[in-house]
Amino acid sequence: MALTRAAARQRSRATTDRKWATGFALGVVGIFLGYQFLVPHLPYQVATFVDNWLPLTSLNEASVYVILALGLNVVVGYAGLLDLGFVAFWAIGGYVVGWLMSGFFDSAKLNIFGHAPIGLPNGVHISFWLVLLLAGAFCALWGVIIGWPTLRLKSDYLALVTLGFGEIIPQVFVNGEDINGFNLSNGSKGITPVDGIDLFGKVLGPFDLALKFLIYAGIAAFVVLLSLRLREGRLGRAWLAIREDELAASMMGVPLRKTKLAAYAVGAFSGGLGGAAFATQVNGVFAERFNFSISIILLAMVVLGGMGNVWGVIVGALVLAWINSTGLVQFGRTFNDTFGTEINFPSYNFLLFGVILILMMLFRREGLIPESRTKLLLREPERGQMMALGAEAELAQAEAAIDTDGAPAADPPTDGASGAQDPGPDSQPADADGGDKR
């Protein structure tokens, strides 16, 4: 019976995953075809409205946030490891593109299926698809390096250590223009431009936004597939066991060190993919963009969508990314034009995110589209609430047992440790004077 129920739950989960995957795939294809063939032929006012409220640059940036949020979901949602420094992997992945797809190292002259800009043959020019894998692998290595010292830490201490790494690595790039005479990152000036993406022989330029959106959506689809396959496998079940109870998981034979390091590595791999995609989107790598607030936004995306649920995290990332890049700007412009005010709405983005998180924690802690297990866990009453509910139930039962003449009925039987035993069937009732009836 238990196997039957487990198989039914697995089939139901697979059906749900197929529905969500089909819906997002149709949405991606519809957006690509619409912007590629339909929007340019719309009336001017309609096309302007679409470009203002849903520009392709915003969609591309939202796709990058989806990739990053899915990686953070592996660490936070699957394994239950609070990470406040995920922006470090975004930065590392971006700088891999800057190093291997530009003329930054002008003393070198290496070209592996790359497309160097005309007039800039020097430098390292490697194909984007190879660099994408290298960025993911390099970030996975750094994920293990960062995760190794944090294995014995939990809760707030783990968050503080990851916060420290998230602050250290971007600062290395900010001050990396002169490290004992070696230029690592070009400092605050950044590395720009980077080579274009080669798509079936066509090198995408800055204005090929629709094709870039298709590529970023494809990378996000790969991360979704990776997340789903890992969740259903042995490693995913080990992550969930650690998230629920680390001590119990270790007693059941789950190798904590390897399992936690695997979570850090997979999450960092996704972060590297997102960083590489973002570098090609903005045509460069700039150290000032990798600040601590990015980690908080990514964590808010995971919490808002539903920790542990891939589809919920995608929804949360899309919503918050659109609000942060386009929604507040356009709403503020419309509001100011209507009422004649000069309120800078984008400057209140973190106030809005904070209010959203507070409301979510108060009324829907499991997120907009929660994982079923997380939903049951967060809605389960605490021990004190359960004891209070049990006491209320006993009181109601006792009140219902009161006789019509006002005399209370006999107390319900209790166990031998806390009350008197229920008299057996052979015992005789006592007289009023205490003697036995004969």
Q: How many CA atoms lie within 13 A of 107 on its CB side?
A: 2
d(CA 155, CA 45): 52
Which pLDDT belongs to residue 8?
A: 74
Rg of the chain over Cα atoms, rounded to whole angstroms, equals 29
Q: What is the pTM of this model?
A: 0.84
Hey, what are 65's tokens?
A: 């946030």
Which pLDDT belongs to residue 391?
A: 58
Which contiguous run of DSSP H or E holds residue 198? strand 198-199
d(CA 375, CA 366): 5
Q: In angstroms, what CA-CA distances link 93 with 100, 164, 188, 221?
A: 11, 19, 17, 18
The segments of the chain whose pLDDT lies below 50 read 404, 408-410, 412, 414-438
Q: Tell which CATH classification among 2.40.128, 1.10.1740, 1.10.760, 1.10.3470 matches the domain 54-379.
A: 1.10.3470
3-state secondary structure the chain: CHHHHHHHHHHHHHHHHHHHHHHHHHHHHHHHHHHHHHHHHCCHHHHHHHHHHCCHHHHHHHHHHHHHHHHHHHHHHHCCCCCCCCHHHHHHHHHHHHHHEECCCCCCEEEEECCCCCCCCCEEEECHHHHHHHHHHHHHHHHHHHHHHHCCCCHHHHHHHHHHHHHHHHHHHHCCCCECCECCCCHHHCECCCCCCEECCEECCCCCHHHHHHHHHHHHHHHHHHHHHHHHCHHHHHHHHHHHCHHHHHHCCCCHHHHHHHHHHHHHHHHHHHHHHHHHHHCCECHHHCCHHHHHHHHHHHHHHCCCCHHHHHHHHHHHHHHHHHHHHHHHHHHHHHHCCCCCHHHHHHHHHHHHHHHHHHHCCCCCCCCHHHHHHHHCCCHHHHHHHHHHHHHHHHHHCCCCCCCCCCCCCCCCCCCCCCCCCCCCCECCCCCECC
Residue 257: how many CB atoms within 10 A of its CB?
A: 11
Hey, what are 221's tokens?
A: 């689809």
68: closest CA among 366, 265, 269, 226?
269
The residues facing 191 across adjacent strands are: 285
Yes or no: say if 398 and 337 are a contact pair by the CB < 8 Å rule.
no
Which pLDDT belongs to residue 423?
A: 47
173: closest CA among 68, 90, 53?
90
Instruction: Give, in degrees to the nearest 5, the angle at Cα 188 between 187 and 193.
Output: 90
When the pLDDT of each residue in the chain is averaged and rounded to a whole number, the result is 85
Which of helix, strand or coil describes residue 238? Answer: helix
368: closest CA among 304, 314, 319, 321?
304
Sequence-distant (≥ 6) Cβ neighbours of residue 353 within 8 angstroms: 296, 297, 300, 320
d(CA 231, CA 78): 8
Hey, what are 257's tokens?
A: 């060190």
Which pLDDT belongs to residue 416?
A: 44
Yes or no: say if 97 and 323 are a contact pair by the CB < 8 Å rule.
no
Which pLDDT belongs to residue 171?
A: 92
Yes or no: say if 58 and 326 are a contact pair by the CB < 8 Å rule.
yes
Which of helix, strand or coil describes residue 124? Answer: strand
